Amino acid sequence: MNFNYQIIVEYLGLNFVGWQFQKNGKSVQAVVEKAISKALNKKIKIIGSGRTDSGVNARGQSANFITQKEIKDLFKFLSTVNFFLNKYHVSILSIKRRKLNFHARRSAKKRQYEYIILNRAAKPSIDNHRTWLVKKKLDYNEMKKGIKFFIGRHDFSAFRASSCTAMSPVRTISYANIVKEKDKFIIKFESQSFLQKQVRSMVGCLKFVGEKKWKPEIIKKIIESKNRNDCAPPAPAEGLFLKKVFY
């Protein structure tokens, strides 16, 4: 008999090549698979809701794995797996049993990403590797105007990485918002899926708007151009978090 379990994973992307297993370095998927396999004393393959790039963080990455062994004590299992993960900036926050047809990637209806810009002169101590430090004062109201142009169904060719392998550049942004909390700008996007570096590219454009290098309306023109060369440089990976996956 098979059992299907969903886990929620939190990690700091620093020192990882990303979520997905790669031959050129350490991935989050690889260290989590190893920890779960060790806890169950059996080789386990986990399926993530989607890949996150090198350096990108997660507060709520979702994954699932199938095992022939039922996990009777979920709390004890979590404690064991997290013990094996102690040496990494990775934690399994929760685990629950799912139906066998649950698939972390294919069953996902929506993903929420959050990007944090720290807007001040002093470098971060507590938030180091968790924010993008921008020293030039940003105009919050202009960024609020600019972010609205991303909402809806668009061809996001101008915002995808050259290495992006997605079949179509068309994506639907169902939610986009920015809030200011003291010296932090917290930017959120929701969509069923995103192109490679899409969120970071959108944030890079919002930064240009906040610095008043661009007017907010420029974002609409960049979307319409479908030209990557018109886009601002992508924001660094360290300020980006996969916040939540909705099912």
Would you name the residues annotated as active-site residues? 53
- Distance between CA atoms of 113 and 171, rounded to whole angstroms? 14
Hey, what are 139's tokens? 């105009």
Query: Does an H or E element contain 243, and which?
Result: strand 240-246
Hey, what are 93's tokens? 């926050």
- Distance between CA atoms of 7 and 61, rounded to whole angstroms? 8
- 90 and 32 Cβ atoms separated by less than 8 Å: yes
Hey, what are 85's tokens? 């993960």
Q: Which residue's entry shows tokens 């899409």? A: 198
